[in-house]
């Protein structure tokens, strides 16, 4: 889906937009200037492009930062594989989650979430989505006030396909694992 895919290397959010009421925002970065030594040294796509990042500073801390897709439509029951690369570094890092919100009924489902330190390198994640109505996707990063923390995202992609089978072991949301929505 072209509306979802973004490597951030044009220096913008592609068709994603920032949540309008957010206290903090995901920032485009080419590296993380964090004196505490957490966060990516380079983007995932090419090593000299951009990614988006949340890093607490003394005057910009705490809160949830959101990016959201435009309206996405599934004309009949369709499988999508949403894939992205993330970086959750530092002992104070809080949480990253992916939310699917249906537009007709406003039903919200957390399709993926991680809390706390995960990796000091770029890590791939993917989740299968089976849906037959209009929806949006959101990435939500929760940032604490302590400085040993960085969240980063790069290379978001979504294809009309079932994810690789092993994904079912973790997410139980793909149609090949059971009904969803
Ligand atoms: Ca990139």
pLDDT digits (tens, 9 = 90+) for 131-172: 989 999 999 999 877 888 899 999 999 998 888 764 544 444
Q: Binning pLDDT at 50, 70 and 90, where does residue 67 land? A: very high
Distance 121 CA to ligand 1 centre (A): 14
Q: In the chain, where are the structural domains located?
A: 17-171
- Taking the CB of residue 178, how many other CB atoms lie within 10 A of it? 10
If you measure from the C-alpha of residue 6 to the centroid of ligand 1, how many angstroms do you get, rounded to a whole number?
8
Distance 15 CA to ligand 1 centre (A): 15
CA of 86 to the centre of ligand 1 (A): 11
Three-state DSSP class for residue 29: strand
Q: How far is the CA of 166 from the centre of ligand 1 (A)?
A: 26
By the CB criterion, residues less than 5 angstroms from ion ligand 1 are: 7-9, 43, 45, 49, 154
- Mean pLDDT, all residues of the chain: 86
Q: Compute the distance from residue 9 Cα to the ligand 1 centre, in Å.
A: 5
> Has domain 17-171 been given CATH number 3.30.70.930?
no
Quick: pLDDT tens for 103-129: 999 999 999 999 999 988 899 998 989
Q: Is residue 179 classed exposed, middle or buried when 0-12, 13-18 and 19+ CB atoms within 10 A define those classes?
A: exposed
């Amino acid at each position: 889906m072209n509306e979802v895919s973004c490597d951030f290397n044009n220096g913008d959010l592609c068709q994603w937009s920032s949540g309008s009421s957010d206290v903090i925002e995901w920032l485009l970065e080419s590296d993380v200037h964090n004196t505490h030594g957490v966060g990516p040294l380079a983007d995932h796509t090419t090593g000299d492009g951009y990614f988006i990042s949340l890093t607490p500073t003394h005057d910009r801390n705490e809160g949830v930062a959101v990016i959201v897709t435009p309206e996405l439509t599934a004309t009949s029951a369709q499988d999508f594989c949403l894939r992205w690369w993330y970086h959750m570094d530092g002992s104070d890092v809080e949480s990253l989650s992916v939310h699917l919100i249906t537009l007709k009924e406003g039903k919200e489902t957390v399709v993926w979430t991680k809390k706390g330190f995960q990796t000091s390198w770029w890590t791939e994640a993917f989740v299968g989505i089976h849906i037959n109505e209009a929806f949006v996707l959101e990435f939500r990063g929760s940032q604490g006030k302590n400085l040993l923390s960085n969240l980063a995202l790069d290379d978001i992609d979504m294809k009309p396909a079932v994810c690789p089978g092993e994904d079912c072991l973790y997410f139980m949301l793909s149609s090949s694992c059971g009904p969803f929505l």
